[in-house]
Amino acid sequence: MLDTHARKYVQPSIEKTAKGLVNLGLTANQVTWIAFGIGASSGLFIFLEQPILAVLTLWFSGFLDAVDGTMARLTKPSSWGTVLDITFDRIVEISVILGLAFAFPDSQWALLLLSVSIIVSMTIFLTVGAVTEKQGMKSFYYQAGLAERTEGFILFSLMILLSPYLTIVTLIFFGIELYTAFQRLMEAKKILQS
């Protein structure tokens, strides 16, 4: 929801950074790899009991993730870049979930439920993007929903910083992901049956 509706407020910073990195000679795919490396380290920082570093690396990787897409649109978008971007996004999320699961074994069952809900929601998202003829500003149809990347980062941050409430926050995230999956499924039905 925030990615869809609030992007216009942060887009000037994203564009300025993207243009600066293009001028430095970096490609969108190189920034995708950098964002991936930084983001994947967040799980390690969780495990090493460095929650502030974990949150900072998570958000910085998210910023670079937005920048790489803008860089691609400023230069030459590629299908390979889209595959890298979506795959690395999921690996960063997995890193956070695994870091939390290893650091807080009592919450593993809730983290497993969250993982399942993310898989279901992303399966719908990616399948609709693949089968629909609609396209947005990305190289595929982007299905908005209650839980998009920014909401996920907010909830992951709460899970990391409020570890005594990890199970509760994780179950809230799980519910939001399930609602998003249902939202996307209903939208898919409208799009594909019209």
Structural domain boundaries of the chain? Answer: 2-193
User: Does residue 54 carry a pLDDT above 80?
Assistant: yes
pLDDT value, residue 66: 93
Structure tokens at 127: 């399948």
pLDDT value, residue 1: 65
**Once rounded to an integer, what is the mean pLDDT over residues 72-81?**
89
Range among 36-50, 65-79, 134-148 with highest mean pLDDT value:
36-50
Residues whose CB falls within 8 Å of the CB of residue 182, separated by 6 or more in sequence, listed in order: none
φ/ψ bin of 46: left (φ > 0), alpha (ψ from -120 to 50), beta (otherwise)? alpha
**Once rounded to an integer, what is the mean pLDDT over residues 119-134?**
84
User: Does residue 127 carry a pLDDT above 70?
Assistant: yes
Residue length, the chain? 194
- pLDDT digit string, tens, across residues 78-125: 889 989 999 999 999 999 999 999 999 999 999 999 999 999 998 988
The overall pTM is greater than 0.95: no
Structure tokens at 111: 């983290």
Q: How many other CB atoms sit within 10 Å of the CB of residue 70? A: 21
**Residue 88, CA atoms < 13 Å, CB-side half-sphere:** 26
- pLDDT digit string, tens, across residues 146-186: 778 889 999 999 999 999 999 999 999 999 999 999 998 98
pLDDT value, residue 139: 56
pLDDT value, residue 178: 94
Counting residues of the chain whose pLDDT is more than 70, the rounded percentage is 91
Q: How far apart are CA 9 and CA 70, in angstroms?
A: 14
Q: Tell me the pLDDT band of 128, cut-offs 50, 70 and 90.
A: confident
CATH superfamily of 2-193: CDP-alcohol phosphotransferase transmembrane (TM) domain (1.20.120.1760)
The rounded radius of gyration (Å) of the Cα atoms in the chain is 17
User: Does residue 136 carry a pLDDT above 70?
Assistant: no
